[in-house]
Chains A and B, each alone.
Chain A
Amino acid sequence: MTIALGLVPVVLLLIGFPIFLVLLTGVSVALIWVMNVPLAALHQNLFGSINAYALLAIPYFIYAGELMGRGSVAQRLVDFMQGFTGSVRGGLGVTTVGTATLFGAISGVSAAAVATVGKVMYPAMQRAGYPSAFSAGLITAVGAIDIIIPPSIPMIVYGAAAEESVPRLYAAGIIPGLLIAGLLSCYVIWYAKRRNIGEVESLTWSRIWRGFCRGAWALGAPVIILGGIYGGIFSPTEAAAVACVYAIFVTMLVFRELTWRDICAAAGATAIFTAQILIIVSCAGLFSWVLTVNQVPAALVAWLQHSELPAWMFLLTVNILLLFVGCFLDPLSAILLLTPLLIPLVKALQISTVHFGVVMMVNLAIGLFHPPFGINIFVAQSVLGIRLETIYRGIVPFVLLYLVALALITYVPDLSLAGMRLFFD
């Protein structure tokens, strides 16, 4: 059993097999040569893992973000943010952070934020005198907030894997997401003041109003999504579908930027991206079932109880593990591979699965832009046309800031749980 569910998947993972195949091969070996269960369970679990209404939120949120990202939404959000931050030294950098955070409240796909916000903000920051390395580092790092701020696609996947409520996870992600945005903004302001970068404009109501008018339609999407979910009007899946219809309406009829051909192209790209995720969700569900039937989680819990590992030490160990894994594996695969193994331990240590979900998101968010293989680094390199060395140099302070935030979020559970309590207690 150790060979089927441990050695085979690890070896296949290391030699670059697709994640779904890694899981499916391990299960197939176990079912054929080790276990004595009806083979119909194979189909039942593959099918049953994705036969869930809640998972519909994945393609719908991706589609809404895909539509909003194809037009001028990023520029409009920048105009809105600039109305507030133009009066602060380093305001352009703060606008980058704020725009990525707002975009995250629409899209939930991190690389989309790096590409969309980066295309608008990188040239502007260059013109304002920010060094290339700093601008590239900031843009690469801010996109990671998008998987912490709701609606986050990895949170939906974690919710399915850990059997945790997605609205509770979303509520828990708000304060940690804003904390990271705040830390990044403070650093940007400090950096700009120390180097005397950028010009300061006076804060006027007319500027704020102009920015609001430009960004109002774009800001409608997060209002619908978050207002709908926490106002008790929609489920997350319905909120995502309504956001899609809103995005089609705004981009086609209000901004007049997309045609039906673009709408269909965005739907095609969404369907393929969704398939990349769901085939792993399906196989991970099957893998998780095989682990459970073979009492692997129970054995892990027994080991944990025997070793008397305290909760803080467990969280530290998991943070190191997730940071390491996040450097090599995308967040969705990491969540699906590790959640079934970690959740029984989390429950045994009486750690909230909502809090743990947020800790997991922050760890994997760091992996998205951590050198040398963070996917957002390559997205920034390809979209902004910057050398990798420049991005690597610029990213270091932001990795450190995220690590500070990770420590706070890990060891002050109230930062995550306060948001959840606000909406659910």
Chain B
Amino acid sequence: MPLHERAGGIGRLERAGTAAAAVAENILAVALILAVFLNFANVVGRYMFATTIRGGDEVEIYILIWTAFLGAVVVSWRRQHLRMDVLIRACPRRLRRIAAVAELVVTLAVSVFVASQSVAYVMLIFRIDARSDIAGIPTWIAHVAVTVGFVLMAAIAALRGSALLFGVGGEADAQDAAPPTPVEQPRS
């Protein structure tokens, strides 16, 4: 049984996480459409009115950066990260489970490390009030996407790790934790 169908604290957290991922996806979708029309408006403005929206490019790049790091959180939640999983999928279930646990531990450790370095950097540029060149937007708004992304990825790894360690899922969760099938992988 997948974790989100279970009763109890972990199950509730899983359901909340799934809902939050859907909300994040919708926010990113609206932001992407906004970025597209902002770019289009700049093209039209340049050719028809000899003017562009001040700082439009900067807003688009900020949206791209948030898409990368907040989107990566959604991708982590749905276990859709790109990976070379040919070998591990051919391994016995026990070995897959060990690899899945190792992945969660490494994700947690690396994410905490990156988030701690990132938060220090964001605090610095927040204090000096660094701003973008054209629109004058505070740059911490874009930089904090890195922090948020890795903090949430660490939280996901901690949640999944605790579910595995405290035996909430057993064998079924090892399968949940296994990499996705090839068709679920993104398509280049």
Interface residues, chain A, with chain B CB atoms under 8 Å away: 12-21, 24-25, 28, 32, 39-40, 42-44, 46-47, 50-53, 55-56, 59-60, 63, 109-112, 147, 153-154, 234, 237-238, 241-242, 244-245, 263-265, 267-268, 270-282, 328-333, 368, 373, 375, 378-379, 381-382
Contacts and interface: CB of A to CB of B under 8 A. Distances in A.
25 contacts: A14-B84, A17-B83, A19-B81, A19-B82, A19-B83, A28-B113, A43-B143, A50-B65, A110-B187, A153-B188, A154-B188, A241-B35, A267-B28, A268-B26, A272-B74, A273-B186, A274-B67, A278-B71, A279-B72, A282-B69, A330-B188, A373-B182, A375-B188, A379-B183, A381-B183
Contacts of B25: 268, 271-272
Interface stretch (B2-10, B85-93, B158-166, B168-176): B85-93
B83 A18 contact: yes
A272 B74 CA distance: 7
Contacts of A21: 81, 103, 106-107, 110
B188 A147 contact: yes
B188 A241 contact: no
B183 A56 contact: no
Nearest to B35: A56
Interface of B: 25-26, 28-33, 35-37, 39-40, 42-43, 57, 60-61, 64-65, 67-72, 74-75, 78, 80-89, 99, 102-103, 106-107, 110, 113-114, 117-118, 120-122, 124, 142-143, 146, 149, 179, 181-183, 185-188
Nearest to A109: B187
A21 B99 CA distance: 13
B83 A111 contact: no
B84 A19 contact: yes
Contact of A56 (B31, B64, B88): B64
A46 B114 CA distance: 10
Nearest to A238: B43
A14 B179 CA distance: 13
Nearest to A32: B113
Contacts of B179: 16
Nearest to A276: B186
A329 B181 CA distance: 14
A148 B124 CA distance: 43
A275 B71 contact: yes
Contacts of A237: 39
Nearest to B27: A271
A264 B29 contact: yes
Given A20-B72, A63-B36, A274-B67, A43 B182 contact: no
A47 B187 contact: no
A278 B35 CA distance: 16
Given A39-B120, A56-B35, A241-B43, 5 more contacts: A272-B71, A279-B75, A282-B68, A379-B183, A382-B183
Contacts of B64: 50, 55-56, 59, 274, 278
Nearest to B182: A378
Contact of A241 (B39, B117, B181, B183): B39
A277 B182 contact: no
Nearest to B96: A16
A86 B157 CA distance: 56
A344 B70 CA distance: 33
B107 A379 contact: no
A40 B117 contact: yes
Contact of B65 (A51, A328, A373): A51
A383 B92 CA distance: 29
B68 A328 contact: no
A333 B187 CA distance: 12
Nearest to B78: A272
